[in-house]
Structure 1
Amino acid sequence: MEKLAIDGGTPVRSKPLPPPFRGSMLIGEEETNAVSNVLAAQSPFRYYGPNMQYAVQTLEDLIAKDLNIPYVLGVTSCTAGLVVAMKALGIGYGDKVIVPANTFVATAGAVVSSNAVPVYVDMDESLNMDPDDLERVYDEEVKAIIVVHINGSACDMDKIMAFAKKRDLYVIEDVAQSQGCTYKGRICGTIGDIGVFSFQMNKMLTAGEGGAVVTSNPELFERAVRYHDQGSFRDKDRYQIDPKFVMSGQNYRMSELTGAVMIEQWKKLGTIIGTMRKHHRNIRAAIAAELPDVKFRAAADDDGDIGCVLGIVHPTLERARAYASAMKAENVSTHSMYDGVPVYKIPCFFEQRTAEKDNFPYNYPFKKPVIYTEDMCPKCVDLLGRITITLISPILTDEEADEIARAAVKVLKALDAKAGAGAHS
């Protein structure tokens, strides 16, 4: 039995793994030149300038082609995209929106910023929402479900879409963490009414910030465009859409600089996913060969998983914490998502506090009052801290991927031995 580094042994790796960022690690001359061209043209605004390069339009067309979806809108961030999507759907004051208990703060925050109130659905061992818990949080004041495909793996969209259809609910897909993920051959983000993507620093592709909204519905698209551009719809001729709406909006327009970077990043998606998926599958196989009883994170569609994290389900919270600490000592950074804290426990949400008067929009007199309790999503409370994740970088070498597997096997075997010794002491 190898002595763990945390106990004074020699670590599997002599130094930390490469940075876990994805798209940013592949930024090169292509992105630099693309941005330089926009700046040299003195036209960084997407709708007009002295020498337009039409980078955002080119990006939108590229995404539309690859996703096989007719309408794509570049926006300033995924958070902005979520707000734009909800405004396109007419969601606002007096509405409830179902949000997964395990998600980034932006998902719930966007609901509140859209003047609606989030209600939280539990998760399962996939780290995604548990579709069997949707009925618990549904009532007639719920207008939509935000489906968040967490860390590269799809939600169970068959069950979710069937539930939504039965109750006439909109489905927004938040694909921020899972660009390129598929569900039974369908591209995530194109299954629901509207999909939203992120190009923030941590994501599969990045320009630092940025996002996109996609839909197959021309009316929803017009409303999205208008809301993101101060009520304007400048591209109606491009899309051959007969305008139907008059509305005010805000400014969530993507700049040509972001568009230029993202054109080059988008071309690299296949390489990024292919590398991560290869390493992820090899790491899992190597661990399973040594420890066949290891329980990996579940998946609604394992074939569609893009392999951006190695997820392991541990029997107890203490065991998960011990594993994460030991892996870090082996120079393989490992952790629990969001420190094991469901999003609804974040004080601004749990205490229903906002910057607005009377904590608007929580002050709406709902027929069924929105009340949060700490244990309202018990699976998330139990599981979130017990599932550890190790990020898989697209610039990992085969040797580094092998070292991740070796470290996991080393640590798991040592923890098993300690547990066995403790049971017989």
Structure 2
Amino acid sequence: MAADGPISPPNVYDAEPIPEAARDEIDRLLTSGDLFRYTAPEGAPVALLEAEFADLLGSRYALAVASCSAALFLSLKALDLPRGARVAIPAFTFAAVPSAIVHADCVPVLIEVGSNYRVDIADLKAKIAEGLDAMLISHMRGHTSDMDAIMELAEAAAIPVIEDAAHSLGTTWAGRNIGTIGKVGCFSFQSYKLINAGEGGILVTDDPEVAARAIIMSGAYEQNWKKHPGLQNSFGHWQNKLPLYNTRMQNLSAAVIRPQIPELARRVADGRANHDYVAGLLNASPWLDVPPPLPQEVRAPDSIQFNLVGFDTDAEALAFQDACKRRGVGVQVFGLSEGNARAYWNWQFLGDLPDLPQTRAMLMRACDMRLPARLTKPDLDFIAQAIFAAAAETKG
């Protein structure tokens, strides 16, 4: 491993600067006061973002909203699922995902996840046999589960699939954009994503009825749905028949997002190169394992996850975490971080939680670290050396 690197630990938390074009558009909006997406008769920044994002993904419809959580919630409501519907989710996801299901008056059904962070297909089959109404597949931290197997099972059981692609903008599966394989795909523009608006989300679909219902429920009241292209017959049918949740995106957020879309391909390429470089260095340690991508998967990572190998006790894993911190590198063991929102046993709002030994074992030794696309090779060397050395120190 390279010996030289930055004098101080790299900052892995700051995002890339917002392009100058966003500042010009924000100044225009502030001068006009035109912040509500439906004020202008046409051409509002949010409407332009929806058209550009749908074109980017190759989808028929896109709806920009306040967050990815809002997109997931609206997707569930737009599927017109019955109250109490059973919705399968990976047991390795963020707490906002089961929360969206609860808000939609449905019941989360947790599916085991393997040591490679992906859905256990055998457990998914078992849960389908017990009865499911939908699947919400989180590509957690950008790790794509076997979408061929998932879609085959879903189609055989006539179960709709929502993709939580919050971490997967730019990822492809067998040449198809993640988020366009299921009936609905949901994306995030939160600060730690490849496109950063602080907050914000968007959903895509090819289904006109799902799109129309989601648009109206997002807050397209009275005749505002006329400012969305197409779908006029569907809008006319659903107007005043659906509750309004008012989860709209406003124009300032769209103004921040739109100039970043042309930057996406570079960020994806740089992030993948950074991830794969660090993964190669970490995998040289007998104590560290970065699971490889699946053959059909071309990822767009902005973080790295790896498993601790041969760490028999929680004390050893915590000692490793502390050793990384002393070296200036913040590594988090998912299951050993107090209150971690990605550890399913902390989702106490679900009530009685199932026993998921496979997922629990993974979370107790799986490590997480930000690895933004803007990092340089010396930054990456510093990080890899610190983690490598921390593992060697802990294991003696």
TM-score (norm 2): 0.88
Are residue 325 (structure 1) and residue 322 (structure 2) matched? yes
Per-residue deviation, 1:126: 2.4
For residues 140 and 168 of structure 1, do their structure 2 counterparts lie closer, same or farther at Cα, with a shift above 3 Å needed? farther
Give the aligned partner of residue 349 of structure 1: 349
Pick the structure with greater CA Rg.
1
Amino acid at match of 1:166: A
- 1:303-348 Cα offsets, whole Å, 9 max, x none, are 5122322222113353433322211211121112364666542253
Give the aligned partner of residue 36 of structure 2: 45
1:20-419 alignment, distance < 5 Å: 20-21=13-14, 24-49=15-40, 54-138=44-128, 141-229=131-219, 234-235=225-226, 238-239=229-230, 241-243=232-234, 244-246=237-239, 247-248=241-242, 249-288=244-283, 290-291=284-285, 294-301=288-295, 303-315=297-309, 316=311, 317-318=313-314, 319-337=316-334, 339=336, 343-346=343-346, 348-351=348-351, 372-373=353-354, 376-416=355-395, 418=396
Bigger Cα displacement from structure 2, 214-223 vs 306-315: 306-315
Structure 1 counterpart of 2:8, from 12, 15, 29: 15
Per-residue deviation, 1:293: 7.5
DSSP 3-state at the match of 1:172:
strand
For residues 42 and 140 of structure 1, do their structure 2 counterparts lie closer, same or farther at Cα, with a shift above 3 Å needed? same
Q: Distance in 1 between matches of 2:304 and 2:73?
A: 31
Per-residue deviation, 1:162: 1.1
Bigger Cα displacement from structure 2, 391-400 vs 299-308: 299-308
- 1:102-141 Cα offsets, whole Å, 9 max, x none, are 1111100000100111111111122232222113333565
CA contact 1:200–1:206 (8 Å) conserved in 2: yes
CA contact 2:16–2:374 (8 Å) conserved in 1: yes
DSSP 3-state at the match of 2:229:
helix
Per-residue deviation, 1:260: 0.8
Amino acid at match of 1:283: V
CA contact 2:74–2:217 (8 Å) conserved in 1: yes
DSSP 3-state at the match of 2:110:
strand
For residues 344 and 137 of structure 1, do their structure 2 counterparts lie closer, same or farther at Cα, with a shift above 3 Å needed? farther
For residues 337 and 305 of structure 1, do their structure 2 counterparts lie closer, same or farther at Cα, with a shift above 3 Å needed? farther
Give the aligned partner of residue 367 of structure 1: none
Per-residue deviation, 1:250: 1.8
DSSP 3-state at the match of 1:26:
coil
- 1:69-120 Cα offsets, whole Å, 9 max, x none, are 1100111111111111011101241211112111111100000100111111
Per-residue deviation, 1:263: 0.3
Q: Which of structure 1's runs of 4+ aligned residues deviate more than 4 A?
A: 11-14, 230-233, 338-343
DSSP 3-state at the match of 1:60:
helix
- 1:241-297 Cα offsets, whole Å, 9 max, x none, are 422434222211111111111101222222222221111111222334x43774213
DSSP 3-state at the match of 1:313:
strand
Bigger Cα displacement from structure 2, 167-176 vs 131-140: 131-140
Pairwise CA RMSD = 2.5
